[in-house]
């Protein structure tokens, strides 16, 4: 029988086992989500296409949106001031649809390094940066970041001298946070578009630093 891929002992050509199908029973909350969603559609509160559009809109958000915000803060002193005063308003004025999100921007300085965590769940500025990385939601990251942030940072490759204060922001309630990392040295000649390429997702969570301009 013609077949375009081999099935040798359930192992792929690269030697890895095939991922199993998700044939397990639905969890309680998966059933609840399906039931509520179908009821909302049946009762005309929303439609399946509207739900699909909202999922697409969320998936279209990415850290590159946040990188543009950071790069502008680095190059536009008035914007930086507005961003630190009210990050929701400043990002909306810049043209990002962040919905009802209430955002606080915290700025790294030579004396201060900020890092974001949500110990209670997985609060993250999704309406600007998109979905969080999986590790952000793990119990290890959530519990260790408030207890031993310097060790966590070291594992991410961020080694800070003792005279730099580490400030952990626990997103416990209604606010979401973005770190404005320090502008790398040697970037004086770069415009906002070029600078945005240096701003990584992790540098806006605080677990990383912007890329080195010399690498470009």
Partner 1 sequence: MIYVRVKTWAPPGHVRTPAYLRGKTGVIERSLGPFGNPEELAYGHDGTPTLLRRVRFTMSEVWGPDCEAASDTIEAEIYEHWLEPAPTPRTRHHAT
Minimum distance, C-beta of residue 186 to partner 1, in the bound complex (Å): 29
Nearest CB to partner 1, comparing residues 142 and 201 = 142
Minimum distance, C-beta of residue 88 to partner 1, in the bound complex (Å): 12
Nearest CB to partner 1, comparing residues 114 and 187 = 114
80 within 8 A of 195, measured Cβ to Cβ: no
106 within 8 A of 167, measured Cβ to Cβ: yes
Neighbour count for residue 64 (Cβ, 10 Å)? 13
Tokens of 170: 């626990």
Minimum distance, C-beta of residue 174 to partner 1, in the bound complex (Å): 5
Nearest CB to partner 1, comparing residues 126 and 211 = 126
Crossing angle of helices 77-85 and 63-75, rounded to 10°: 120
Nearest CB to partner 1, comparing residues 14 and 111 = 111
Tell me the Ramachandran region of residue 130: left when phi exceeds 0, alpha when psi lies from -120 to 50, beta otherwise. left
Angle at 70 between CA 68 and CA 72, to 5 degrees: 70
Which residues are identified as catalytic? Answer: 118, 121-123
Helix (H) or strand (E) holding 177: strand 175-180
Contacting positions for partner 1 (CB under 8 A): 102, 119-120, 146-151, 162, 165-175
Minimum distance, C-beta of residue 100 to partner 1, in the bound complex (Å): 12
């Amino acid at each position: 029988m013609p077949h375009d891929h081999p099935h040798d002992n359930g192992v792929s050509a690269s030697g890895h086992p095939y991922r199993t199908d998700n044939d397990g029973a639905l969890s309680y909350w998966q059933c609840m989500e399906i039931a509520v969603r179908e009821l909302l559609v049946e009762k005309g509160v929303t439609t399946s296409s509207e739900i699909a559009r909202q999922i697409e809109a969320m998936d279209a958000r990415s850290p590159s949106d946040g990188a543009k915000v950071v790069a502008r803060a680095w190059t536009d002193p008035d914007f930086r001031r507005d961003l630190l005063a009210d990050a929701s308003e400043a990002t909306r004025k810049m043209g990002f649809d962040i919905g009802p999100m209430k955002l606080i921007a915290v700025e790294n300085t030579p004396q201060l390094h900020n890092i974001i965590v949500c110990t209670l769940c997985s609060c993250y500025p999704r309406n600007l940066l998109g979905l969080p990385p999986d590790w952000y939601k793990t119990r290890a990251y959530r519990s260790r970041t408030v207890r031993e942030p310097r060790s966590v940072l070291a594992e991410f490759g961020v080694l800070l001298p003792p005279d730099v204060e580490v400030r952990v922001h626990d997103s416990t309630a209604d606010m979401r946070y973005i770190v404005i990392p320090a502008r790398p040295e040697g970037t004086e000649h770069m415009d906002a578009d070029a600078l945005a390429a240096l701003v990584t997702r992790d540098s806006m969570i605080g677990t990383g630093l912007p890329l080195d301009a010399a690498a470009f």
